[in-house]
Chains A and B, each alone.
Chain A
Amino acid sequence: MNNLEAVFQSIERAKKPQDIFGTLAGTTPSERAQALRKAFHGLVRLVHPDHNGNSERAKIAFQRLIELHAGAEGVINPDSKSIQNPDPAQNISVIKTPKASYAIQDLLGAGDFCNVHRAVRVSDNQEFVVKSLFQTGDNDLLDNERKVLKSLWTQTGDRADHFLKYLPMFVEAADLPDSRRLHVLTYESEFFPLTEVLNAFPGGIDPRDAAWMGNRVFEILSWIHENQVVHGAVLPCHILIRPRDHAAKLIGWCASIKEFGKDHITVMSGDWTDYYPPEVEQRQTATPALDVFMAAQCLSALVGGRVSKRGSFPRTVPKRFSGFLDACRLARPSSRFQDGRSAYLEFKSLLKELYGPPTFRPFAMPKHSAS
């Protein structure tokens, strides 16, 4: 029996990740993850269908290998990543929809209503996000997200081309065997949520660094408001940034309103209740000023200000900067900037007055916390 045949057979016979990857060397999770990565890549080179004349056997073995790898990642890092289930053998997850199979990888985030996993499409190794609800009773939230994202993605023109890169794209929806709905969305690497920035800099960041983040958020809001959409959950966990090119994304569209003017926001994040303006709990009709309020809450937190109290900022924050944020956070919606565009224009001119013409200011996370 040659080496390749032995590899195929061991993958075909493997019942759990350990059967194929063994006991991984290393004492820390990162050492063991590295050992796993090495072993996995070695095996991929051997069994990948491209290297085996695209044979059925290779396709099956390759998919199984990906499952085992996902399971092994769960074993290595049982606390934060990919594992909610105490039995790692149960956690080998490949989600198969009529369109594609996705090997579930690490947990990117646990939201209020759903888990968000990174996933790899088995056919071409492309990365995606799989967002799965905790319970079927919330399926309507994903239906809402899908409706709003689809309507935004049907917008055309230069502005749409520019702004759509700030949004995730809906790929497909499916129901798990227990009827919990999931969404597959596009994934881009290097982005991480503002929550990580808040965690890494408990005292806040330099307002000049917060400037571009704020700009992006108000820009995105200005475009969605033009399209009659209110996001309804502009929270640190829903704003993703990529410092390398000052890119950002607004995710988490479950609470959003497709055509504002009649409806109120019907869901709130339990972890971030203090970020919401008073009209949300009072079930008043949602307006774009609601998003402006929440965006300003995020920015206030970023620069070290207090979220629940206006006027409470570190000395490093210029008065006019904090004054602007407080003006966005007035209790009455009609007293705030009325939409993303007016807030964006004001913020931009304020930055220019405070710091001069915009320049690219590199922003780096502390080494140990960047993801």
Chain B
Amino acid sequence: MGYGNWSDKSYDYISKSRASAPVDKIFTNVSSADPAMNSKGVKLRESRDSDDHPESNAIAVFFDVTGSMGGVPELFAREKLGGLMNLIVSKGYIAHPQILFGAIGDATCDRYPLQIGQFESSLVMDTWLTKIYLEGGGGGQVSESYGLAHYFAANYTAMDCFEKRQRKGYLFTMGDEMPWLDMPANELREVFGGSKISKAVSMKEAIEQASRMYHVFHIVIGGGTRHGDDPKILAAWRKLLGERALHLAEPEGVCELIAATIGGMEGREWDDMAGDLRANGTSTAIVKAVGNAVRSAGTGLARIPRASGNLPVAASARRGIRL
């Protein structure tokens, strides 16, 4: 997976034709999850280099598709995906992004608590996006199984950016609810299939494991959703992710926030990125909301700039012990 080129023009065409289409025309799976996105039996999702994309960089984006949040993937499909790719690639945040889309529900009551696409560099990523089944379920407990995304990323993905270049991928989850803090073994077996999973995994462990290969972020979506502005939700995420739990007051800015987060991690200053967003046609309200989210991240959005130069070293020199 992960070949082909992103084409702005063809996406433009698709997106225009969708502007007024009803949801069930955009999302092809209206009554059940697409078998190709079923998490059960998943072996490995790979993000690999190719001739066209010699330095691929994995990005996994997981939507919350429970009732309150179903509008976000729709927004992506209708208009935002092009903007995200445009920002990331044309502004040079990352030269060769490979994006995997997935969807999260509630493992305690949804039929398809985890749906996962493939890493793609080309327009095919849009197909995965529209294959997502908007289950619209979720329980009344104000918790979703977000940790499935981290567990999946840690155990079922492989990527050249990390293996060949020690560059981490990006993992974004988003939603307006609390995470379930524990994932019982039977639930994991149910979601991923196979009998090998023998022990429960806590959300904290799953995030720790995913963080070895990914920069892990979560976006708490507020503004008009049911729970996202409740400070308790952000507090719960901050406990897990520190400043990498972002709060976004404007649901329409998710895509821009993902781009700005990546840009920040790749060394862009917020002021420059705000200019990029405006040039991309983003409304002032969204630029402001994204700016607040980025700033609230403080040091969590490391904004570590790139240095040029060479400090050669043998990794074998490392003698420290991790406990």
B121-157 interface (Cβ within 8 A of A): none
- Judge whether B311 and A174 touch: CB under 8 Å: no
Q: Point out the residue from A99, A112, A176 that lies within 8 Å of B311, measured CB to CB.
A: A176
B317 CB–A CB distance under 8 Å: yes
Q: Nearest 7 pairs between A and B by C-beta?
A: A112-B320, A270-B319, A174-B307, A95-B309, A85-B312, A136-B166, A268-B321
Surface stretch bound by B, among A23-31, A53-61, A259-267, A350-358 = A259-267
- Judge whether B304 and A181 touch: CB under 8 Å: yes
- Judge whether A134 and B315 touch: CB under 8 Å: yes
B40 CB–A CB distance under 8 Å: no
Look across to chain B and name the residue whose beta carbon is closest to the beta carbon of A266: B323
- Judge whether B317 and A115 touch: CB under 8 Å: yes
Residues of the B chain whose Cβ atoms lie less than 8 Å from the Cβ of A143: 299, 302
Residues of the A chain whose Cβ atoms lie less than 8 Å from the Cβ of B299: 143, 146-147, 150
Q: How far is the CB of B307 from chain A (nearest CB, A)?
A: 4
Look across to chain B and name the residue whose beta carbon is closest to the beta carbon of A254: B320
Look across to chain B and name the residue whose beta carbon is closest to the beta carbon of A117: B311
Sampled A-B contacts (7; CB under 8 Å):
A84-B314, A97-B307, A99-B305, A173-B302, A175-B307, A177-B308, A179-B166
- Judge whether B307 and A267 touch: CB under 8 Å: no
Known: A269-B319, A271-B319. A84 touches B313 (CB 8 A): yes
- Judge whether B309 and A176 touch: CB under 8 Å: yes
A106, B136: Cα distance in complex, Å? 61
- Judge whether A280 and B319 touch: CB under 8 Å: no
A125 CB–B CB distance under 8 Å: no
A178, B166: Cα distance in complex, Å? 7
Q: How far is the CB of A137 from chain B (nearest CB, A)?
A: 7
B155-206 interface (Cβ within 8 A of A): 165-168
Known: A137-B212, A268-B323. A110 touches B309 (CB 8 A): no
- Judge whether A269 and B304 touch: CB under 8 Å: no
- Judge whether A134 and B168 touch: CB under 8 Å: no
Look across to chain B and name the residue whose beta carbon is closest to the beta carbon of A141: B320
A121-149 interface (Cβ within 8 A of B): 130, 132, 134-138, 140, 143, 146-147
- Judge whether B323 and A283 touch: CB under 8 Å: yes
Count chain B CB atoms within 10 A of each CB in A97, A182, A265 and give the residue with the most.
Answer: A97
B322 CB–A CB distance under 8 Å: yes
A130, B313: Cα distance in complex, Å? 14
Q: How far is the CB of A327 from chain B (nearest CB, A)?
A: 26
A91 CB–B CB distance under 8 Å: yes
Residues of the B chain whose Cβ atoms lie less than 8 Å from the Cβ of A147: 299
- Judge whether A115 and B311 touch: CB under 8 Å: yes
B267 CB–A CB distance under 8 Å: yes
B281-323 interface (Cβ within 8 A of A): 299, 302, 304-315, 317-323
A231, B193: Cα distance in complex, Å? 45
How many residues of B are in contact with the other chain, CB < 8 A? 28
A140, B241: Cα distance in complex, Å? 13
- Judge whether B267 and A98 touch: CB under 8 Å: yes
- Judge whether A266 and B320 touch: CB under 8 Å: no
Chain A: interface size category = 35 or more
Look across to chain A and name the residue whose beta carbon is closest to the beta carbon of B167: A179
A113 CB–B CB distance under 8 Å: yes
- Judge whether A91 and B320 touch: CB under 8 Å: no
A281, B322: Cα distance in complex, Å? 10
A95, B299: Cα distance in complex, Å? 23
Residues of the B chain whose Cβ atoms lie less than 8 Å from the Cβ of A137: 166, 212
A38 CB–B CB distance under 8 Å: no
A55-109 interface (Cβ within 8 A of B): 84-85, 90-91, 93-99, 104
Residues of the A chain whose Cβ atoms lie less than 8 Å from the Cβ of B314: 84, 134
Q: How far is the CB of B30 from chain A (nearest CB, A)?
A: 42
- Judge whether B323 and A265 touch: CB under 8 Å: yes
Known: A134-B313, A136-B166. A96 touches B307 (CB 8 A): yes
- Judge whether A135 and B307 touch: CB under 8 Å: no
Look across to chain B and name the residue whose beta carbon is closest to the beta carbon of A282: B323
Residues of the B chain whose Cβ atoms lie less than 8 Å from the Cβ of A99: 305
Q: How far is the CB of A264 from chain B (nearest CB, A)?
A: 7
A180, B166: Cα distance in complex, Å? 8
Look across to chain B and name the residue whose beta carbon is closest to the beta carbon of A98: B305
A179, B307: Cα distance in complex, Å? 9
A174, B308: Cα distance in complex, Å? 9
Q: How far is the CB of B228 from chain A (nearest CB, A)?
A: 27
- Judge whether A268 and B320 touch: CB under 8 Å: yes
A84, B314: Cα distance in complex, Å? 7
Residues of the A chain whose Cβ atoms lie less than 8 Å from the Cβ of B309: 93-96, 104, 176-177
Residues of the B chain whose Cβ atoms lie less than 8 Å from the Cβ of A115: 311, 313, 317
Q: How far is the CB of A173 from chain B (nearest CB, A)?
A: 5
Residues of the B chain whose Cβ atoms lie less than 8 Å from the Cβ of A95: 307-309, 311
A194, B322: Cα distance in complex, Å? 24
Q: Point out the residue from A113, A150, A265, A280 that lies within 8 Å of B318, measured CB to CB.
A: A113
A273, B311: Cα distance in complex, Å? 28
Q: How far is the CB of A236 from chain B (nearest CB, A)?
A: 15
A174, B303: Cα distance in complex, Å? 9
A181, B215: Cα distance in complex, Å? 14
Look across to chain A and name the residue whose beta carbon is closest to the beta carbon of B319: A270
- Judge whether A84 and B312 touch: CB under 8 Å: yes
A268, B322: Cα distance in complex, Å? 6
A187, B176: Cα distance in complex, Å? 47
- Judge whether A93 and B310 touch: CB under 8 Å: yes
